[in-house]
Structures are given as C-alpha cells and as structure tokens.
Structure 1
Amino acid sequence: MEDKNNHKTLEKFHFFRWKDSKIIGEDYSTDPIFGIYKEFSNDGIIRTKGMECFYGFIFGNWFYYDEKGRLIKTVNNDEGYEFGIEDVFFFCQKNSIPLETNREKIDDSLRPIKILKQRMPDGKLIWIISYADGVSIKTYWLNGKNGKIIKTFLNPMPVE
C-alpha cells in the first residue's frame, strides 16, 4: 500500500476470520528486517501490537488490548535472552548463513532462512536458525543465554 506521496506504508495486509473477525497488518516500510505487527478487531479496535522480524521471530514488548482498546497485558519476548538479536545475526554472518531480505524473490514458505525463539519444556530458551543452501537444510539450536550450539541438524532438501 502507498500513501498520498507514493511512499510504502504497509508491506503486508491480511484480513481473515478466526473466532471473530480480525484485520492484521505488518509494516516493514522503514526497515526491511524489523516490522511492526498490529491486529485489530473487525470494528477497527486495536487488539495486539508488537515487533517482528522478517526471518520469523517476534521480539521486544508486545501489547494486548481488550475489546474496547484498553491495554490489558504487556509481554517482554526478550526476557531471559542474554544472547540477543545482534548476536544471532553475527552468528549467521560468521557461519556464512545468508540473511536475504529481497521480498520480491522470496515466498514466505520458501524463505531461505528462518529464525525462531522458543522456550523448551524444561524452561531453557533457545534460538532456532534454519536455512537452505540449495542442497540441504541446516538447522542450529543455540542457547538463548550464551549462544553456544546445543544441536545441529542437516537434512536433504525436499524433492518435488
């Protein structure tokens, strides 16, 4: 979408029905990697707002609102992650993991790299970095406290 001055204002905009009608928007107009996520009720009242990364993870404070648009909860998605976003990007750079952001070339399901944050059942915080090199899919599990590699996986690319 563009504003009256032909500037991109909203990278993606979704509308779908789930339990109740929702309007979801993702704005990557000022930064190709980090965007703002907003979810509204069908009548235009804000319900959720937070930051997300093009590579698949959410971060920072996320804000949740009641049906009248009043703030009811704030969740810090970075809490406990001493090995942060910049550290993960440095790990990718050091290990020659491409951080592609060209949206015209990339379909969400075919993204060559995905980065996720996860809390394991034992409470351990991890980063999951998964990328395709054309031959295989390599996945790293990193400790969210210190960045040490917990596990690595190497799987062949799916054959169509």
Structure 2
Amino acid sequence: MGDDLSIQDNFQPSGAIYRERSFNRNSFLHTNKFFYDNGYIKKKGRLFNEGSSIGVWYYFDESGKLVKEENTDEGYGFTPEKLVRYCEKNKIELPKGYHESGFYTQVRKETLNGKKVWVIKYLIPGGDIQRVVLDGQTGKELEKKKVPFVSS
C-alpha cells in the first residue's frame, strides 16, 4: 500500500465544481485543489487534516492563469511546526493521513478579540473535548477549558 491517497468530491463552493484532496499517511497536512467546471484549477493549498489553511494558497482565473497568492501563515509567529511540537510536548495526538469518520484533533486558525490565535480541540478521557487557545504570535496558552462532546 502506498503512502498517498487522492479523493475527489462533488463540492460546489462559489463556482468550483469539485474538490480533489490528496493525503499522505505520514503527514499532518493534506492538499486541496478546487476546480472550475472547465477543469482548470480555481485554487489550491494545504490544510491541517482536520483544520485550517497552512502556508501559501494559490488562486487562478478560469483560463488557468495565477492571479493571487495568499500566505495564510502571515501574522502567525507561532508557526505550524511550533504548533506540532507543542502538541507533541503536551501529548495531543494530531491525525496523519486520511480518516474516513470519527472525531480527530482539530487545529484551526481563528481571530479572538482582534488577535490571531490557534484553537486546538481534542478528545480527553471521559469523552469530553479539551479546547486550547494559543496566541498566534507567541504560542502562549490564552485559554484551556473542557467542553462537552456533542455528536452531530
């Protein structure tokens, strides 16, 4: 069995007809590509498996011409690599590769009171979720609280 898995979904956000997700079973990240109905790529970039955009995202017009690059890590001095080390140090299991179902650790970039933050949610013993908010610049813990797990 290889290390890579590619999945195509029917997905219709603002003009894109489908999305292709590429996973590597040894990586915390996966690649997303969104396509126009003519087959050209609309945008592409990388995400944490259960979370936010990471690194540079590329945007194209309907003829396939690159029209914009967006560095989604801008304003985050506490880098994705530092976040992974934080999780390892605090025994927070990050998912690698593709997972078909279930709740896995979520890592998201958010803005809280005008400040860029990382929000990590993970299962803890007893079935609840631990929610940790880290300062996006320094990695300092701003909040840590237990929240109930609610199945959808």
- TM > 0.5 fold call: yes
Quote how far apart the aligned CAs of 1:103 are: 3.6
Which of 63, 74, 82 is the equivalent residue of 1:79? 74
CA distance in 2, matches of 1:39, 1:158: 30
Gap regions ≥5 residues in structure 2: none
Question: Do structure 1's residue 111 and structure 2's residue 103 form an aligned pair?
Answer: yes
CA RMSD in angstroms comes to: 2.4
Task: Say how many residue pairs are matched.
Answer: 151
Indicate if the aligned counterparts of 2:60 and 2:67 stay in contact, CA closer than 8 A: yes
CA distance in 2, matches of 1:102, 1:70: 30
What SS does the corresponding residue of 1:86 show, helix, strand or coil? helix
Structure exhibiting the larger radius of gyration computed from Cα positions: 1
* Percentage of identical aligned residues: 26
Indicate if the aligned counterparts of 1:10 and 1:25 stay in contact, CA closer than 8 A: no
Q: Deviations over 1:5-56 (max 9, x none)?
A: x857643211133453511001114743222211111110111011112131
Supply the AA of the counterpart residue of 2:117: I
| Mapping 1:10-89, distance limit 5 Å | 10-20=5-15, 22-29=17-24, 31-89=26-84
CA distance in 2, matches of 1:68, 1:159: 42
CA distance in 1, matches of 2:110, 2:119: 8
Indicate if the aligned counterparts of 2:49 and 2:98 stay in contact, CA closer than 8 A: no
The structure showing larger relative contact order (alpha-carbon pairs under 8 Å, at least 6 residues apart) is: 2
Indicate if the aligned counterparts of 2:46 and 2:57 stay in contact, CA closer than 8 A: yes
What SS does the corresponding residue of 2:150 show, helix, strand or coil? coil
Supply the AA of the counterpart residue of 1:76: N
Give the aligned partner of residue 129 of structure 1. 120
Indicate if the aligned counterparts of 2:49 and 2:95 stay in contact, CA closer than 8 A: no
Give the TM-score of the pair, scaled to structure 2: 0.85
CA distance in 1, matches of 2:138, 2:81: 13
Give the aligned partner of residue 135 of structure 2. 143
Give the TM-score of the pair, scaled to structure 1: 0.81
CA distance in 2, matches of 1:127, 1:100: 16
1:45 to 1:82, Cα distance in 2 relative to 1, 3 A: same
Give the aligned partner of residue 95 of structure 1. 90
Supply the AA of the counterpart residue of 2:44: K
Quote how far apart the aligned CAs of 1:64 are: 0.8
